[in-house]
Amino acid sequence: MKSFKVLVAGGGSGGCSVAAKFASLLPKGSVGIIESAEILFQTHYYQPMWTLVGGGMKSVKDSAKPMSEVLPKKAVWIKDSVASFKPKENTVSLSSGENVQYEYLVVALGIKLEYNRIKGLPEAFETPGVGSNYSTEYVDKTFQSLKDFKEGNAIFTFPNTPVKCAGAPQKIMYIADEYMRKHGVRDKANIYFNTSLGALFGVKKYADALWKIVEERKISVNLMHELVEVKPDTREAVFRLLNKPEETKTYKYSMLHITPPMGPPDAVKNSTDLCAESGYVDVDKYTLQHTRFSNIFGIGDCTNLPTSKTAAAIAAQGNILYQNMKCVMEKKSDSKEKYDGYTSCPLVTGYSKCVLAEFDYDGNPLETFPINQARESRLAFHMKKDIMPTLYWQLFLRGMWNGPRLTRKLLHLGMSK
Ligand code: FAD
Ligand code: UQ1
């Protein structure tokens, strides 16, 4: 049986960046990464770019690099998928039937997209007007639908589950609004944000700013609306009204952008020793250590950390995980490093502007720059579009970006948390 000092399950944002940290610390071959990414294409995607792909500003190709280029060279890539975890035996079972043993395990399997929980999907993606920025398969359809749009309803949805990047479902709506204005069809469009949530955004400071933007741009927000069915033949989308669960409301669409329901990966959900009741990896919200197995840690979208699931959050989590796991490995008393829930969402509001939300577990803003980041800014847009991709590929994935905490402290002359 293969055996590793540190085994990392998943080679996405969290898995790759944490594996890089441990691969630098330990001798060659000590770190194993199980990553199934599309056995044929073996690609790592920079998912935050898909918002820009949906708006025609970048291509899917721009968001991709071969997995072999990004995974740390000193680590061993196990090209298989995790079937289940056996934490009591310190092993992971693979789909091939093999088992892999570990001393320390990091779980970083991301979140699962569940398009098929909506009646009519995924088939409706083959019909005009329906797209989704959450998948490489459907993101080009978003821009195609925008280009084809002539008149009618453009509807943007938000599911009744946790999601990754909770701002992304509305970013594409602001981009679409600007595109339609530029192309002279905005007068003939009704734009709807039909969200399952009871708020436009979880943090008041940014929600207030976004409400002003939707009002200015004449966008209709329908709260507590969950998409349950797409009928491509009649171009209708059916929503369950969550405050009157027996009732549904049907909207005609010319364009429909779908954010799918999401859930924990099967391998986590089915390993009851590993997951919380919600099905996500059960970790301590401050240390990222598993609540029952001291040699297991979790990071990113697959965990039950009560913060907004983003790569920015993972940048901050990565260093906390590394410090705390290293302490356990060296049998030192607990490290003092505690994760404060830092997360960030660059809420792109068009083709040149962005509201840069940054906040902690308590919803307190933790802004990097000494300006009011709830105001739309060109600088934030430039950072999102032109700086973040390089930072992601060159620093973050190599385990060398732990988020903007130090920059924030410097720019606030040490007065910020
Ligand atoms: P992932 O990066 O998804 O990695 C999980 C990995 O596990 C994948 O490589 C997968 O192939 C692998 N895997 C899954 N199951 C198995 C298995 N059984 N066996 C082996 N391997 C498996 N974040 C930001 O910070 N800023 C943004 O602006 C932003 N915008 C976004 C816009 C969009 C449209 C989307 C989709 C996401 C956005 N995000 C943004 C969120 C960010 O991309 C994710 O939160 C982040 O990539 C999650 O990292 P992860 O490691 O948890 O999961
Ligand atoms: C960030 O650290 C990060 O991770 C690499 C992102 O993902 C792409 C982000 O979108 C953002 C906004 C941050 C936070 C960084 C700064 C400088 C605010």
Q: Distance, CA 88 to ligand 1 centroid (Å)?
A: 27
Q: With residue 156 as reference, give the H or E element that holds it.
A: strand 152-158
The closest residue, in CA terms, to atom 12 on ligand 1 is: 10
* Ligand 1 atom closest to 315 (CA): 25
2-35+71-111+264-340: what fold?
A: FAD/NAD(P)-binding domain (3.50.50)
Q: Where are the domains of the chain?
A: 2-35+71-111+264-340, 114-262
Look at the alpha carbons of 85, 89, 90, 92 in this order and tell me if their dihedral is positive or negative.
negative
Q: Please tell me if the domain spanning 2-35+71-111+264-340 has the same topology as the one spanning 114-262.
A: yes
Specify whether the CB–CB gap between 192 and 218 falls below 8 A.
no
Distance (Å, rounded) from C-alpha 336 to C-alpha 363? 22
**Cβ-Cβ contacts under 8 Å for 52 (sequence gap 6 or more):** 58, 348, 385
Instruction: Show which residues are catalytic.
Output: 165, 345
Which atom of ligand 2 lies at the shortest distance from residue 396's CA?
A: 5
Q: How far is the CA of 27 from the centre of ligand 2 (A)?
A: 30
Nearest alpha carbon, ligand 1 atom 29: 48
Please give the single-letter amino acid code of residue 55.
G
| DSSP letters spanning 377-417 | BHHHHHIIIIIHHHIIIIIITTT----SHHHHHHHTTT---
Per-residue pLDDT of the chain (417 residues; tens, 9 = 90+): 999 999 999 999 999 999 999 999 999 999 999 999 765 578 999 999 999 999 999 999 999 999 999 999 999 999 999 999 999 999 999 999 999 999 999 999 999 999 999 999 999 999 999 999 999 999 999 999 999 999 999 999 999 999 999 999 999 999 999 999 999 999 999 999 999 999 999 999 999 999 999 999 999 999 999 999 999 999 999 999 999 989 999 999 999 999 999 999 999 999 999 999 999 999 999 999 999 999 999 999 999 999 999 999 999 999 999 999 999 999 987 677 899 999 999 999 999 999 999 999 999 999 999 999 999 999 999 999 999 999 999 999 999 999 999 999 999 987 777
Ligand 1 pocket member 311 (CB < 6 A): yes
Give the amino acid at 313: A
CA distance 404 to 369: 10
Q: Containing H/E element for 68? A: helix 67-70
Nearest residue (by CA) to ligand 2, atom 4, is 312
Q: What is the position in ligand 2's atom list of the atom closest to the CA of 314? A: 4
Alpha helices, DSSP H, located in 295-352: 311-329
Under 8 Å between Cβ of 316 and 339: yes
Is 51 strand, coil or helix? Answer: helix
Atom of ligand 2 nearest to the CA of 46: 8
CATH for 114-262 (3.40.50.2000, 1.10.260.40, 3.20.20.80, 3.50.50.60): 3.50.50.60
Using the mean position of ligand 2's atoms as its centre, give its distance from the Cα of residue 360 in Å: 14
61 secondary structure, DSSP code: G
Spatial distance between the Cα atoms of 387 and 50, rounded to a whole number of angstroms = 15
For ligand 2, atom 3: residue with the closest CA: 312
Tokens coding 67: 């997995």
Question: Ligand 2: residues whose CB is within 6 Å?
Answer: 48, 311-312, 315, 344, 346, 368, 388, 391-392, 396, 401, 403-404
Mutate to test the pocket of ligand 2, among 391, 398, 405 (most ligand atoms within 8 A of CB): 391
